[in-house]
Structure formats: C-alpha cells, structure tokens
C-alpha cells in the first residue's frame, strides 16, 4: 500500500469539484449497495456513483474533463503501463452515525486500485487482512490524497458522521 498526499496541483484538484461534480448538471446514479450491484442490501449501504469508464471503455462524456488529471494520478504511482478497467466516482452520504459498508474487492481478477479522495471527510476506508475480519489499516479521506493498493485486498468505505458526504474517485487498473 502506498499513500501520496497532494497528488495533483491545487488548481487541478479543484477541477473535480467546482467545475463539474458540484455542478447541477452532473449526473449521479443510485446504488442500493455501495460495494456491489445487489438490489437487496442493508438500508444504510446505499450510495451515489458516476462511472467514467466501465469494462475498459469510456462510459461518460465527463471522462474528457477528468482524463488529464486521472492520468496524472496514475503517473504519480508509476503505473502508466497499466490498462484502466474501471473508473468510478462515489459519493457516500452521512446517516448521522458510524456505519462501515460491506467489505469487498472491486474485481475478481488481479488488479490494482487507486482511491483518490475528492474531499476531506471522516468516512474512513478500512483495509482488511486475508481473514476478512481483522482491520489491517484505516485511511481517513483528505482532499487530494491517493491510496494505491492490491485490488484483491478486501476493503470497505464508511459513512461520514461529522461531514455531509464522502467522495472518492476509484481507479482500477490491470497489467497490459
């Protein structure tokens, strides 16, 4: 696992927020379960998302706005020889109490994941040991911080309590 703070310039970091995501025209889609596509889930597991890339293909016209910044994030981790399989922006809302969402892996095949935090929040990300029960590491979201980890590491987001929402850009990469 590798963590980098201030991954992008302040100006570039703000492109994600002020010019796009906080725009009234930015489309968010509802997920019953923030970790999977299951219809039936615990009531508190819901979240909002916007998929920029799915199955290695551009899925959103907004990708063009973010592309340069996304490539800069990937390059900071020296992963420019990898293939992007999925990029998703996630938004988890506060429910006023602590709640850890379902632990999961993003894809079943070998891959690497970068979580790029879009805002400061208290909705931590939990990384689990192989037993899937013991928390190994806990990362607090800070705007412009990125975490690279083995995509087969089980992890879970959590609901913020003090902040209204937690937003993260999730990038999944595989070997070329």
Q: What is the pLDDT of residues 131-146, one digit of tens each?
A: 999 999 999 999 999 9
**Is 38 a residue whose pLDDT tops 50?**
no
* Contact criterion met (CB below 8 Å) for 75 and 67: no
**Is 90 a residue whose pLDDT tops 70?**
yes
* Contact criterion met (CB below 8 Å) for 88 and 170: yes
Kindly indicate the confidence band of residue 1, based on its pLDDT and cuts at 50, 70 and 90.
very high
Q: What are phi and psi of 160, to 5 degrees?
A: -70, 155
């Amino acid at each position: 696992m590798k963590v980098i703070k201030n991954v992008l310039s302040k100006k570039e970091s703000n492109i994600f927020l002020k010019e796009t995501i906080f725009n009234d025209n930015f489309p968010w889609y509802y997920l019953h379960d923030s970790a999977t596509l299951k219809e039936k889930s615990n009531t508190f597991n819901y979240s909002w998302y916007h998929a920029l890339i799915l199955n290695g293909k551009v899925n959103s016209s907004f990708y063009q706005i973010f592309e340069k910044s996304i490539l800069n994030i990937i390059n900071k981790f020296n992963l420019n020889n990898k293939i992007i399989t999925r990029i998703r922006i996630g938004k988890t809302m506060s429910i006023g109490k602590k709640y850890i969402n379902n632990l999961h892996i993003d894809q079943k095949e070998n891959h690497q994941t970068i979580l790029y935090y879009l805002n400061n929040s208290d909705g931590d990300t939990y990384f689990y040991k192989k037993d899937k029960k013991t928390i190994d590491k806990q990362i607090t979201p800070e705007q412009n911080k990125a975490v690279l980890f083995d995509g087969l590491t089980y992890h879970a987001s959590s609901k913020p309590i003090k902040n209204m929402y937690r937003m993260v850009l999730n990038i999944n990469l595989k070997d070329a």
